Amino acid sequence: MRRNYAAAVLGGLMLVSSLAGCGGGDSGSESGSDDKLVLGFSQVGAESGWRTANTKSIQESAKAAGIELKFSDAQGKQENQISAIRSFITQKVDVIAFSPVVVSGWDAVLKEAKDAGIPVILTDRAVDAQDTSLYESFIGSDFVEEGKKAGEWLAKEYEGKTEPVNIVELQGTTGSAPALDRQKGFADAIASNPNLKIVKSQTGDFKRADGKTVMETFLQSTPDIDVLYAHNDDMGLGAIEAIEAAGKKPGTDIKIITVDAVKDGMTALADGKINYIVECSPLLGPQLMELAKKVDAGETVEKRVLTKETTFTQEQAKTELPNRQY
Amino acid sequence: MTSILKNRLFWPAAILVVLLVINMFTSRQFVTVQDGHLFGTLIDILRNSAPLILVGLGMTLVISTGGIDLSVGSVMAISAAVACLLIQDLDDQNSVGPVLLIIGIAIVVSMLMGLWNGALVAIIGIQPIIATLILMVAGRGIAQLITDGQIINVQSGPYATIASGFFAALPVALLIAVAATVLILLLTRRTALGLLLESVGGSPTASRLAGIGARRITIMVYVVAGGLAGLAGLIYSANIKSADSISAGNLIELDAILAVVIGGTALVGGRFSIAGTVLGAVLIQTLAVTVVAVGIPSEANLLFKAVVVVALCLFQSPTLREKVFGRLTPRTARAEVPA
């Protein structure tokens, strides 16, 4: 027993010293590589295929741009993200970038970064900090614009028709920025045509299974659904299962519009089960690296940078599908 | 009359009936026949209750021994990931034999997860809430490792059948849940097993001194809970024909514990009710459907559910009933000792 104890202590000491060794090595390499830009990036987690593609894009484009990337995964927790940013500050990285898990509660740690003179770039999701000087730029999709593109397509599709169109909406996670904005943009875009009416709107939490169960209930409680608008592909894919189980044809009996354009969604679009997809691209790595270099060089950058995105019809999906990486 | 009111299952049953009546009015087809099988809101509710019933059954057994299993959601994710990964690699995804074999493998893997939990609790003596927390956190990581963080799609007819298929006009998922319920009812109420479980839950030490293999029984309930969670995970993933290791079974442990509590099983162990848990699980699923059917805005979903659950728990509380209704009942009636 005593020997075990001694061994444990010895093991622990070795571990601590090796950790210390790591730390020392880090600071050493940093002073040695002053010419190489060091970017600390804190990712939300790996909650979806979209996010995995986002991570890959950032890692690959950092390598291509010759930027040293310190990558940290927050596992969907804000406290992990805050401690990751703190550790980036102590490591004295050149630029910090992160995708905030939630919108609020960032003022303190952003202030610390500012005091340390490290510029911060937000990616994909925004924060609600009062003081916008706390970050240099926000690069990501415009979710309102995405909702608007979806609504505009629908308005055009039913242009000149007089009979009422019943729309059901599958919202994303309640209170999340993409859900709120995609709802708003869509509602604004169809407001001009009084025939287009959202008859039911409920959260499907961005998940396939929830998309399916909510759609089942929509189908039971709402007569004559003409259009489904889902805030992401996954909920739309779940809803397709429910529509087929109810003996209807997705894409024909019920028109389906979704947002994201991940591979599975594009496949369904090419198969004619979805009618229109608005892209929300995760591949913002190259734009982020460009931005980081500019910020590090002290150049002024746009406060809001939009990701390059497009939309897909069924025909476009067929040609694009083979190139989809995610 | 008072004895019916005092039955622990009266209030959950009453609320379930109220919710179902609401759904009868909101839905166009409550129960009907379509394509040669039953169809409608009631069938959707029962079919979608299946995973929660299965997880709840396992949870009931674990809780009856004074334990708790937080890892059920992660086990669901692992089981779904294993099954979909293997099915994806099949040459012919529609051949029944290999798919059944894979379902068997996934359940065995889930039971091994349960064995791990049981060993931590019964042999090493870690508190159940901590022991199963380990797998709850690590398990989802394992599932993501298996699927490489991606959603795995399968196009297997036989696999989809366990969630969306029908047999003798009834949903297969419901039949699986009913079969599991009947089996567990028979094992616990027609053999001495139920008595042994309650005895271990009441006092493991006294049980051991009385010659009951408390350790073996504890390990067994975790293995069964793991297997049932694995089965639930298969139904969950077959329902959407894909393994989504991030959301499969996410937070289901809380719903399962709620179902168990609504059903009248004591969280400290000892007394348990299988029928109560099934009722609780169906009630929770009905509540979820009702929220959508009556068009409650998304922001108020959780609040609505909370109000119903809190009201239910208050109704079930003997102390509160005594305070509210106590003065109304004659003294003699109050003197009766509730069974």
Residue with more model confidence, B314 or B326: B314
Number of residue pairs across A and B with CB atoms under 8 Å? 88
Let me know if domain B2-334 sits in CATH 1.10.3470: yes
Round to whole Å and give the CA distance between A235 and A211: 4
> Angle CA(B86)–CA(B87)–CA(B92) in degrees, nearest 5?
130
Residue A129: the pLDDT is 83
Q: Which residues pair with A259 in a beta bridge?
A: A278
Handedness of CA A145, A146, A148, A153 (dihedral sign): positive
How high does pLDDT run on average in chain A? Answer: 87
Q: Which of A186, A179, A197 is nearest to A153 (CA)?
A: A186
DSSP-derived secondary structure for A38-81: EEEEEE----SHHHHHHHHHHHHHHHHTT-EEEEEE-TT-HHHH
On whether ipTM exceeds 0.95, the answer is: no
pLDDT of B37 > 50? The answer is yes
**Cross-chain Cβ contact A220/B40 below 8 Å:** yes
pLDDT confidence tier of residue A125, bands split at 50, 70 and 90: confident
pTM: 0.84
Question: DSSP alpha helices (H): ranges in chain A?
Answer: 2-32, 49-64, 78-90, 107-115, 143-157, 177-190, 208-221, 233-245, 263-270, 285-296, 314-320
Two structure tokens written together for A311: 């939309």
Q: Which among B247, B290, B299 is the top mutation candidate for probing chain A, defined by the most A β-carbons within 10 Å of its own β-carbon?
A: B247
Give the distance from residue B151's alpha carbon to the nearest chain A alpha carbon, in angstroms: 7
Q: Which of B143, B106, B148 is nearest to B245 (CA)?
A: B143
Asked if residue B47 lies in contact with residue B289, where contact means CB atoms within 8 angstroms, the answer is no
Handedness of CA B214, B217, B223, B226 (dihedral sign): negative
Among A33-42, A53-62, A69-78, A90-99, name the one with the lowest average pLDDT: A33-42
Round to whole Å and give the CA distance between A41 and A62: 11
DSSP-derived 3-state class of residue B230: helix
Give the distance from residue B298's alpha carbon to the nearest chain A alpha carbon, in angstroms: 5
Two structure tokens written together for B147: 């699927």
Residues 6+ apart with CB under 8 A from A259: A146, A147, A150, A178, A182, A230, A231, A232, A233, A277, A278, A279, A280
Which domains are seen in chain A, by residue range? 34-141+282-308 (3.40.50.2300), 143-280 (3.40.50.2300)
Q: Does B150 touch chain A (CB under 8 A)?
A: yes
Q: Which among A213, A267, A324 is the top mutation candidate for probing chain B, defined by the most B β-carbons within 10 Å of its own β-carbon?
A: A213
Residue A27: the pLDDT is 38
Two structure tokens written together for A308: 């390059």
Among A132-136, A250-254, B176-180, B316-320, name the one with the lowest average pLDDT: B316-320
How high does pLDDT run on average in chain B? Answer: 91
Q: Are strands A120-123 and A95-98 parallel, antiparallel or unpaired?
A: parallel
Residue B332: the pLDDT is 52
Most confident of A19-23, A263-267, B228-232: B228-232
Residue spans of the domains in chain B: they are 2-334
Round to whole Å and give the CA distance between B197 and B180: 18
